Amino acid sequence: MIKKLFLPIILLSSYSFAQVGINTSTPDESAILDVYSQNKGMLIPRLTTAKRDAISNPANSLLIYDTDKKCLSQNIGTPTKPDWLCISNNAVKMFYMPSVSFDTSTNATGRTKDLYTLYKTQFGSPKAKSTSAPASIPFFPSSKDLYYYVTDADPNVFSNISISDDGVMTYDVKAAATDCSFINIVFVVK
């Protein structure tokens, strides 16, 4: 009897897949584990830094949530020489706007600059790039993805500065700019 079942079991096992599905009967073929939910998240192990460091021979790419550092932490080292990296804290949260010119040749009120469009144009069409670089620099697809700030400006040149949620800056020009005039514009990722 065992001999008769052996061959069919072997043949059927060649058609089985190694994927495991939780809440799904059809796990994605590219995943070893496919967790499906429309209203819940996945909770990975939560450890203090001390408990994380006490893991014996942590595998390269092992993930935990470090409760002390409040970040998703990955071992980018080896099991014998772990090197934990907070990967959820590495995103750039702010950057300076690319350089743009402001016409200050005449005094004026209610001038505007579309900061987001200027940024998108420069990042989307750089004037030069290294040989292997992509044609454009990644940029945020919507003006609503950013907060806009003027951190400082020459008070002798600019006044009544305001910025809309879409990144359009309105300003008055009080006097022509000099070699020492400036305006600092910062974008912060929402």
pLDDT in tens, the chain (190 residues): 565 655 555 555 545 556 788 888 888 887 788 888 899 888 899 999 999 999 999 999 999 999 998 889 999 999 999 999 888 766 678 999 999 999 999 999 999 999 999 999 999 899 999 999 888 888 889 999 999 999 999 999 999 999 999 999 999 999 999 999 999 999 999 8
In DSSP terms, which residues pair with 118 in a beta bridge? none
The ranges assigned to domains in the chain are 20-25+32-89, 94-189
DSSP labels, 55-100: SSSPPTT-EEEETTTTEEEEE-S-SSS--EEEGGG-S--EEEPPP-
| Spatial CA neighbour of 150 closest among 168, 162, 165 | 162
Q: Tokens 């939560």 — which residue? A: 46
Name the architecture of domain 20-25+32-89.
Ribbon (2.10)
